[in-house]
Homo-oligomer: A and B are copies of this chain.
Amino acid sequence: MTKIDDVARLAGVSTATVSRALRGLPTVSAATRHRVLAAAEQLQYAVSPSASRLAGGRTATVAVIVPRITRWFFATVVEAVEETLHESGYDLLLYNLGGREHTRQRVLRTANLHKRVDAVMLVATPLRRAELAALTVLDLPGVTISSGSGVPGWPCVRIDDVAAARTATRHLLDLGHRRIAHISGDPDDELAFTTHLDRRRGYREALRSAGIEPDPSLDVESQFSIDGGEQATAELLARGEPPTAIFAACDEMAMGAMSAVRDAGLRVPQDVSVIGIDDHDLSRVLGLSTIAQPATEQGRLAARILLDPLGGRDLPPLGGQIVPRPRGTGPAEPSAAPVILPTRLVVRDSTAPPRAD
């Protein structure tokens, strides 16, 4: 393979000049740059990332850590992040925790991230104390999306989960429901996934605002998945007097709920209304009412916030309609407020007034 020396020789300049010209540094004359580019082109020269990283001290790589790439929200976020990162010349190292403890321990360790990436993006993965310490040692920049407890010094992009849950619950209340169940979060969740806690809080707040004391027997914990929603709902329907409406903590659970309601011989929404949070690709097809959250925008915005101080190539300046607050030019302030993106109630066919009996 051709190396930088070959290009230097052909262009009749030093390797330092080749390096500068190829990276577009301003301190190269137009004529020289032109010759270097032509030589590199002719020789099909491609820089060695390892050598460049070792000498330059930056990897132009970001670690993106998600709980499960197969879930709608995470896949959608990653798709947006991938595009933004690659546009700016950054590589994306994907880590899928998959609920496996040993994976988590391997990934979120000083040794793994050290010198491997310039920054970390953590999606819906609140850190434990030891993990936080490991990252602190590295002093890496990073950004979190939808993470309960943020990382000190890292910006955070998210929605207001409490408000989203409140809106969903209120929609059911407005329709006249009083027995409103909630299905949510991993009970044995070692991973401290806090999203479902916020959503439960919003659910309870909305009920109390309506003068209803939350009924623990209408609050079932399960997995954040289709199967989880199905199981939780089956359990709910088996317990004495069934609810007239179910607020599921995410659309995938809501889909499982719809399925379980039908399996029990009941109809959605005539017998049981169902609402979720997300606006999953399939929610429209299923007629599922939901609180839409902007997954693509969260991914894109988080990636740009991350890249901004790193100085990505070809990155258009931050600003425009999606950024709700002005940002300084330096690194993010330690206690920067999270960037909250808006959600929106989408009413479809899965919610209706309770039967009048």
Chain A interface (Cβ < 8 Å from any Cβ of B): 1, 44-46, 48-51, 53-54, 59, 64, 68-70, 72, 75-76, 78-79, 82-83, 86, 91-96, 98, 100, 103, 106-107, 110-112, 114-116, 137, 226, 230, 255-256, 258-259, 281-282, 284-286
Contact = CB atoms under 8 A, between A and B. Distances in A.
Given A114-B1, A282-B226, A94 B70 contact: no
Contact of A115 (B46, B54, B107, B258): B46
Contacts of A286: 286
30 contacts: A44-B111, A44-B137, A45-B111, A46-B111, A46-B112, A46-B115, A48-B54, A48-B114, A49-B59, A49-B115, A49-B116, A50-B50, A50-B51, A50-B59, A50-B115, A54-B54, A64-B94, A69-B82, A70-B72, A70-B75, A70-B79, A70-B281, A78-B96, A83-B98, A92-B93, A93-B94, A226-B281, A226-B282, A256-B285, A258-B285
A145 to B, nearest CB: 16
What 5 A-B pairs come out closest when comparing CB atoms? A46-B111, A50-B53, A46-B114, A50-B54, A259-B285
Contacts of A53: 50
A226 B286 CA distance: 11
Given A53-B50, A226-B285, A255-B282, A98 B79 contact: yes
Contact of A91 (B44, B86, B93, B115): B93
A209 to B, nearest CB: 33
B69 A95 contact: no
Contacts of A284: 259
Contacts of A258: 285
B96 A79 contact: yes
Contacts of A44: 110-111, 137
B94 A94 contact: yes
Contact of A95 (B51, B82, B106, B116): B82
A103 B76 contact: no
Residue of A64, A91, A100, A103 with most chain B CB atoms under a 10 A cut-off? A91
A82 to B, nearest CB: 5
A84 B162 CA distance: 37
Nearest to A51: B54
Given A46-B111, A50-B54, A78 B82 contact: no
